[in-house]
Homo-oligomer: A and B are copies of this chain.
Amino acid sequence: MNSVLSKIDEDLDQSLARLTDFLKIPSISTDPAYADRCLEAAQWLVTDLKSLGATAAIRETPKHPMVVGTIGEGDRHLLFYGHYDVQPVDPLELWTTDPFSPVIEDGRIRARGAADDKGQLMTFVEACRAWIAVHGSLPCKITFFFEGEEESGSPSLVPYLREHGEELKADLALICDTGMFDPDTPAIITSLRGLLGEEVILTAANKDLHSGMFGGPAANPIRVLTRIIASLHDDTGRVTVPGFYDGVAETPADIMAQWEALGFDASGFLGDVGLSIPAGEQGRSALEMIWARPTCEANGITGGYTGDGFKTVLPSKASAKISFRLVHQQDPLKIRESFRQMVRDALPADVSGEFKDHGASPASTMPTDDPAFEAARLALSDEWPRPAAFVGAGGSIPVAGYFKDILGMNSMLIGFGQDNDQIHSPDEKYDVRSFHKGTRSWARILEALSA
């Protein structure tokens, strides 16, 4: 192991040079103008995997291709997932330097995709490279699976897994698209919240009305919509959708104790974004709210005149985008139905509602009783100043759910991102330390999982 770690240390500059090359490709998946550059990024990965001695190829999809590669032998078979596509870069004027001209300075790699996810996926590839350089071959079989549509809703992922998933089936999937608990404490994600997205569009009159002529007798869809949204929480911050808490478990005392021992700085976490007091359910800590409690939020609302100045319009329509973060055994489809019924029941005469479905995925809970999880945790703990933590995650990483549902495969989510990496924002960066120690971490994990 020590010689692999030394090799990683020695080759850091070359590893960074490869990453820099990769980061120069503007593989923005959501913008059709960049389709060729997405293909170029996929081809870059194929070439790079081949340089390890892997078999690797592009697999076409209706949009951007998958990259699949295989290398190594052994009883243990791991799938490694990452994505080579990146978010758009606007507002471009807020970037210190060009997003696709990577700059390494002050211990940071600044470029679009540096952290999300090119830098992260390369930590694993570089760990494999060092291992092979030292030992001639890997200690297990690895299948690489890289997606090019993660930042644009992964439209091809589920169909691809359904049709071609067989070759991706492994003992365990490793996903490197998450962060550390803090800069010194690595983390393994043990739960992900599910996500239900709904859009409600209310229509009252068949056209916008003048509030002088019609104000009084005419129904105002903004008023109806605001009443509905206001009614989604009670005064203690609990969600009022009937049946919403079905399947939500209380976090066991021992897990709560572990979380408290992490010393999460709620006031710092909120303070960084200008807030001071947890605003959610009464009687829950901020960490519990994010890791183990479901939410309902309005993510967008619009209706009537929203430009400069004033227009005394009674709008015909008002709409809102509402999302629910789900935990444990909450059933997204039952909640969708219950939510829609609640909205329908709240509509007065002359106001009709329609709904748009923006996706529904249940929460994921990782099988931390699988010994691989404790083994990986100890391996990570060897690399970093503080022991690795099993943590919840407030977001949703749908691919983990798809691997489970379609391939029956569990996922282990480990990543080295930091809270200040500015992913999806101008001046995205990845710490050189994250990249370097992340690569070393994967070498240690490979050893631990192959034992």
Taking a contact as CB atoms under 8 Å apart, the answer to whether A325 and B230 are in contact is no
Residue A393 is within 8 A (CB to CB) of chain B in the complex: yes
Interface string of A303-314 (1 = CB under 8 A from B): 111100111111
How far does the Cβ of A6 sit from chain B's closest Cβ, in whole Å?
Answer: 36
Q: Which of A212-226 contact B (CB under 8 A)?
A: 212-220, 222-223, 225-226
Taking a contact as CB atoms under 8 Å apart, the answer to whether A212 and B395 are in contact is yes
Q: How far is the CA of A197 from the CA of B305 in the complex (A)?
A: 13
Q: How far is the CA of A189 from the CA of B205 in the complex (A)?
A: 26
Taking a contact as CB atoms under 8 Å apart, the answer to whether A310 and B222 are in contact is no
Binds B, one of A62-70, A289-297, A403-411: A289-297
Residue A281 is within 8 A (CB to CB) of chain B in the complex: yes
Taking a contact as CB atoms under 8 Å apart, the answer to whether B300 and A220 are in contact is no
Q: Which of A339-375 contact B (CB under 8 A)?
A: 348-350, 358-359
Taking a contact as CB atoms under 8 Å apart, the answer to whether B220 and A298 are in contact is yes
Q: Which of A266-297 contact B (CB under 8 A)?
A: 266, 269-270, 273-281, 284, 286, 289-290, 293, 295, 297
Taking a contact as CB atoms under 8 Å apart, the answer to whether A215 and B325 are in contact is yes
Residue A193 is within 8 A (CB to CB) of chain B in the complex: yes
Q: Which residue of B has the minimal Cβ distance to A325?
A: B215
Residues of B contacting A395 with CB < 8 Å? 210, 212-213
How far does the Cβ of A361 sit from chain B's closest Cβ, in whole Å?
Answer: 12
Taking a contact as CB atoms under 8 Å apart, the answer to whether A211 and B275 are in contact is no
Q: Which residue of B has the minimal Cβ distance to A311?
A: B299
Taking a contact as CB atoms under 8 Å apart, the answer to whether A300 and B309 are in contact is no
Residues of B contacting A293 with CB < 8 Å? 216
Contact flag A306-B302 (CB < 8 Å), given A211-B325, A223-B297, A289-B217: yes
Residues of B contacting A207 with CB < 8 Å? 273-274
- How many chain A residues have a CB neighbour from B under 8 Å? 80
Q: How far is the CA of A310 from the CA of B220 in the complex (A)?
A: 25
Contact flag A211-B295 (CB < 8 Å), given A205-B273, A349-B277: yes
Residues of B contacting A223 with CB < 8 Å? 229-230, 233, 297-298
Q: How far is the CA of A77 from the CA of B199 in the complex (A)?
A: 60
How far does the Cβ of A212 sit from chain B's closest Cβ, in whole Å?
Answer: 3
Q: Which residue of B has the minimal Cβ distance to A219?
A: B279
Taking a contact as CB atoms under 8 Å apart, the answer to whether B321 and A286 are in contact is no
Q: How far is the CA of A273 from the CA of B206 in the complex (A)?
A: 5
Which 6 A-B pairs rank lowest in CB-CB distance, beginning with the nearest?
A: A212-B395, A216-B289, A206-B274, A300-B304, A217-B278, A230-B230
Which residues of A does B touch, CB under 8 Å?
153, 193, 195, 197, 199, 204-207, 209-220, 222-223, 225-227, 229-231, 233, 266, 269-270, 273-281, 284, 286, 289-290, 293, 295, 297-306, 309-315, 318-321, 323, 325, 348-350, 358-359, 393-396
